[in-house]
Amino acid sequence: MQRRTFLTGTALGAVLMALPATAQAMSPAGRPAISVDSLAALQTAINSAAPGAVITLANGTYNVPDNKPITVKSKHGTDDQPITIVAQSRGGAVLRGRHSFVFSGSDNIIVSGFSFRQSTTLDIPPDCAKIRLTRNDFQLADIEGLHWVMVRADFSKVDRNHFHGKTTLGIFLGIEGADKEGMAQDVQVFKNYFSDHSFAGANGGEPIRLGVSGRALTRAGAKVEHNLFERVDGDPEAISVKSSGNTVRYNTIRDSLGGIVLRHGNGTTVDSNWIIGGKEGVRIYGNDHKIVNNYLAGLSGRALVVGSGTARDHVPNESVEARRGNDAADRVLIAHNTLLNNAESLSGESRAHEPRDVVIADNLLVGSSGDLVKMGTTLRFTWQSNILFGAAANGNIPAGTFTRTDPKLVTGSDGIPRLSAASPAIGAATLKQPAVTLDIEGHPRGTSRDIGCDEYATAAPVYRPLTPADVGPNAP
């Protein structure tokens, strides 16, 4: 299997590979690269930049005047020749003040290698497109209610950044769109490091918030992939999804209060995420989601929740108050997940509208206390070929839909238990459609699939739980 690549052209790839050192003598478009050592010179270079320009700001601390932000207005790169604004070395150019960059009417712009220390939101507005924030360090002013980065421009990318060190109400990264219901289309968020959000309130400190209630029914198509979250305790939702049609996969959440929550919206895939040693796991509201291949272990709260609703479904033109309520989980696929030694494994809720038409198949649940399954009222659920094991009771899982047997797991040097060659989970999966073709480590499932997130394999994993070396400004 080939790893996915996020580089959209050879010119862009050349720019990114050059970022650890000073700027190249020539830009990828063959134009002289421009090196500047003041904000005034930087602004002049941006104003005259053509597609393919590379503008390098010398290392140092820059106090951006309140009335003179760094303005990127009506500047247009191309897919193959973006306009790149880069610090001399990663993190070496520090931007302080009320603002840093202010964007309008621009596209195909890359901002890379800066340390952002401003006191207002860095906003990527909806009149822009294809704006990329890469290899930056974000530790904005720790102001109550301040959201640090808001992306509202289509086809933008946020990758290889470090967001860290917030103690107050406010999110690290938000994705929204134009007006009250729009969502930026096809935003990619990958290989970022989110750490140390310690806001102690009940909510409002999400590392990533993908939409808000009023935008729930709008398709966003965002991809949130290969990000690491550590000690993010500002909200029970580390990745809060409040829009439709998104993909959340190959992320690692470790030692954190927050989990992955499909709070509003429909048709999102949550695939091959590791949530280890924190509190919350995956919580599901809305319709037509796929929850597959996830590893949820050692959580002190609820590992996997199939949510009930204050409403059957959210609908267009409903009141603001109604939209804030919970939408019952309907037509959700929950397959090939592994839940190990959590305080609560698989559970439901007791609101007025029960979840319906949910498939729960080929999952592995192991626990030492309580009930492995503790569902509320459900309707037309399909349960099949799950494995349960441990001192924990079965709970209210229907008889005949599971096997209680030792899965014979073996813990690797990385602390992750995997199937051994003798595991009864091997080849025991029965769900046929829709197929789950890869496991959490990127191994092919084949035609005879195993129960749980891990397909037994002797080959080295393609994907493992992420570490800080895999993400952030110095990530590959």
What pLDDT tens digit does each residue of the chain (476 aa) get?
Answer: 222 233 333 344 444 444 443 433 456 556 669 999 999 999 999 999 999 999 999 999 999 999 999 999 999 999 999 999 999 999 999 999 999 999 999 999 999 999 999 999 999 999 999 999 999 999 999 999 999 999 999 999 999 999 999 999 999 999 999 999 999 999 999 999 999 999 999 899 999 999 999 999 999 999 999 999 999 999 999 999 999 999 999 999 999 999 999 999 999 999 999 999 999 999 999 999 999 999 999 999 999 999 999 999 999 999 989 999 999 999 999 999 999 999 999 999 999 999 999 999 999 999 999 999 999 999 999 999 999 999 999 999 999 999 999 999 999 999 999 999 999 999 999 998 777 999 999 999 999 999 999 999 999 999 999 999 999 999 99
Those residues with Cβ within 8 angstroms of residue 399's Cβ, 6 or more apart along the chain or in another chain:
none
pLDDT of residue 12: 43
Q: Cα dihedral sign for 381, 384, 390, 391?
A: positive
Tokens standing for residue 55: 């503008």
Q: SS3 sequence, the chain? A: CCCCCCCCCHHHHHHHHHCCCCCCCECCCCCECEEECCHHHHHHHHHCCCCCCEEEECCEEEEECCCCCEEEECCECCCCCCEEEEECCCCCEEEEECCCEEEECCEEEEEECEEEEECCCEEECCCCEEEEEECCEECCCCCCCCCCEEECCECCEEECCEEEEECCCCCCEEECCCCCCCCCCCCEEECCEEEEECCCCCCCCCCEEEECHHHCCCECCCEEECCEEEEECCCCEEEEEECECCEEECCEEECCCCEEEEEECCCCEEECCEEECCCCCEEECCECCEEECCEEECCCCEEEEECCECECCCCCCCCHHHHHCCECCECCEEECCEEECCCEEEECCCCCECCECCEEECCEEECCCCEEEECCCCECCEEECEEEECCCEEECCCCCCEEECCCCEEECCCCCEEECCCCCCCCCCCCCCCCCCECCCCCECCCCCCCCCCCCCCCCCCCCCCCHHHCCCCCC
Distance (Å, whole) CA 404 – CA 407: 9
- 459 burial via Cβ count (<10 Å: 0-12, 13-18, 19+): exposed
pLDDT of residue 388: 98
pLDDT of residue 29: 59
In which order are the strands placed within the sheet that holds 149-151?
122-124, 149-151, 173-175, 208-211, 237-242, 259-264, 282-284, 302-306, 344-347, 371-374, 393-395
Torsion angle in degrees (nearest 10) through CA of 250, 254, 258, 260: 20
Say how far residue 120 (Cα) sits from the centre of its chain: 23
Those residues with Cβ within 8 angstroms of residue 346's Cβ, 6 or more apart along the chain or in another chain:
303, 304, 306, 339, 360, 363, 365, 372, 373, 374, 375, 395, 397
pLDDT of residue 30: 61
Contact 391, 375 (CB under 8 A): no
Domain ranges of the chain: 121-383+393-400
pLDDT of residue 434: 76
What homologous superfamily does CATH list for 121-383+393-400? Answer: Single-stranded right-handed beta-helix, Pectin lyase-like (2.160.20.10)
